[in-house]
Every structure is written in C-alpha cells, then in structure tokens.
Amino acid sequence: MSERGVAPMLHGEIPTLFEAPHSQDYTKDIILLGVPHEGILVADRHTLYPPGSRPPETFYARFGADKAPDAIRQASVIYSLEHEGGIAAEVDFTNISERLKIIDAGNHTLEGAEDVSEQVGRSDGITITLGGDHLVPLPLIRGKQKGKPERLSVLIFDSHLDLHPSPPLWAGSQWRTLIDEGYVRPEDIIIVGPRGVRQSNHEIEYAREHNVLIIPLRQIDDQGISPVCKQIASRLQSVDSVYISLDIDVVDPNFCPAQKYPDAAGLNPREILTMIRKATETVPISGFDLCCFSPRYDEGQRGALLAARFALEAIYARLRH
C-alpha cells in the first residue's frame, strides 16, 4: 500500500481535480483545467442579457456556472489519484498514474484556455475542462485545431441544439461559430439527447440542411443505447479524433439538480458513460468539457460528484488508446 500524500491544493480550501499535481507543464498527457466563464444569460426566449449582468433570477435566467470548476474539484477527491495512483476498475484495473501524466493547470479565461489548448494539442495531450457555460468548448476546440489540425468530430450531449447563428460568442451559437470559422465540418457534429420544447425552427432547419447528426432522446427511448452507439460509431469512421462536450442539462435533474437549464426526465448517467466509452473505443479522444453546472442548485454534492465522474470517464477514454 502506498502512502497517501498531502493533498495538493489549488487555492484556499480548493483541492486540485482528482488531487492531480498543480502545474503549468502542458507537455503532459492530460491537462485538467477550469474555465469559470459565464457570459450572456437568457432572460426569456427572445431576450439575452449581456456578460457580467446579474438580472433577477427566473426559471429561465439561472446562473452560477462560473462557480462550477472549484465545486467539482471539491467532490473529485472521492476519485483521488493519490489513492494508490488511481486503479480503474472500469479499465481492467489499470493504474492510471503509471500510464498517464496528469496535471491540474488551474482556472483560465476563455483566451487563456485557447492558448493552453493550442500548446497541449501541439504536444499531443488532451484537455479535460470544467466550465463555465457552453461557450467554453469554443476556445478549447479552436486552440486544439490550431495546435494539431485534424478532422475532428464533436460529440455533444445536450438537451439543446445550440445551433443559433448569433451572437457568435454565446453559449447557444458556439457550434455554428466553430463551423463558420472552419475548425469543424457540420457533418462531424453529433448532438445526443435533445428533449423538451426549448428548441428553435431555424436550428433544426440548419441541422437538416447541413447534415448535422441529431439523436433526440426519443430515439434512444425507442431503440435503446446499442443501435445509437453504432450510429455514432459509423459517423466517427471518417474522422481522426472525437472531442466530447457534455452539457450537464442532458442528465435527468434527479441525478444532478445543479443545472442552469433543467428539464425533467433526461438521460441517466450510465447511459451517457456507455455512449462516451463506445465512441472513444472507435476513435481517440482529443478533449472533453463539462458545462452548465451551477453548484448553487446542488444538493449534498451529488451533482458535483457526478460531474467529477464524467471527467474521470474522459481520463478512461485516453487510457484506452
């Protein structure tokens, strides 16, 4: 049995994610980071509040995703790599620390995250990022594609399409911006889990015209997970790697109440973990983020624990390759 070291702290009472060493060495295999950015808020269907504003809270205008990275770090101690290096039962009891060099690079702005991601891409590592709102994957994918350009699929778990054409730097138009900037092809965007009535006609029209693959929750209900995993794998055949972006609102709020835009009766966590596993058995993972987690709505850290578990699955995905 190895000795348990003194917990590496990021700042104050906040440990690093999985108690990985705190470092800025971007040549490692996995760079964990937080991007506590929350920008434009939604007042109602037709009104957006600008970044930095704190409007009166309504069911539409929930906020607090800027507090997510540190809240998830606190819960992640249950998955500490200090525990014998992290022996992953789900990956044939592989010792994670013997196979991968993992650091927590702390919290960054959008601009800082793009720079980190570019450096990480250049040395063939991956970023695992805790948002922030759903604009966060934009600089990460941009940076990764600048550092290591390749044909990249973005596998998105979200109850919303986020295919609005504008404003370009908003957590509702990030995929269109990435497509328009030429970093990703629309046919390489896969959106799993849309449900509910918070959708727009122009988004679904864009998806159909440009061959974005959309797998609504209803299709998963009808077919089960296995055919859906095959459909995702078949779309991944033509790409070099897959970047996974998880909006926590795809999860049933009973498993994670800490959501900016909750919607009842969503996916259960193990369905999502299975889809992530199957996708990353098909092609290598080139990055992961988890967004729209709002800890002020959490209950007894159960949402934060689940968020940490999803980030751990991204480590497993890298381990499998």
203 binds Mn ion (CB under 5 A): no
Instruction: Report, in Å, the least distance between residue 11 CB and Mn ion.
Output: 29
Among 62, 73, 160, 176, binds Mn ion (CB under 5 A): 160
3-state secondary structure of 169: coil
247 binds Mn ion (CB under 5 A): yes
Q: Which is nearer to Mn ion, 31 or 251 (CB)?
A: 251
Instruction: Report, in Å, the least distance between residue 198 CB and Mn ion.
Output: 8
Q: Return the ∠ at Cα 30 (arms to 27 and 34), rounded to 5°.
A: 105
The half-sphere exposure of 112 on its side-chain side, counting CA atoms within 13 A, is 12
62 binds Mn ion (CB under 5 A): no
313 binds Mn ion (CB under 5 A): no
Among 19, 66, 249, 263, binds Mn ion (CB under 5 A): 249
Distance of alpha carbon 220 from alpha carbon 204, whole angstroms: 18
Instruction: Report, in Å, the least distance between residue 159 CB and Mn ion.
Output: 5
Select the span of 27-35, 155-163, 181-189, 196-204 touching Mn ion (CB under 5 A): 155-163
Q: Spell out the residues 6+ positions from residue 147 whose beta carbon is closer than 8 angstroms to its own.
A: 117, 118, 119, 120, 121, 122
Distances (CA, A) of 256 to 48, 130, 162, 233: 25, 15, 21, 27
Q: Spell out the residues 6+ positions from residue 225 whose beta carbon is closer than 8 angstroms to its own.
A: 271, 274, 275
158 binds Mn ion (CB under 5 A): yes
Q: Which residues sit at the interface with Mn ion, rule CB under 5 A?
A: 158, 160, 247, 249
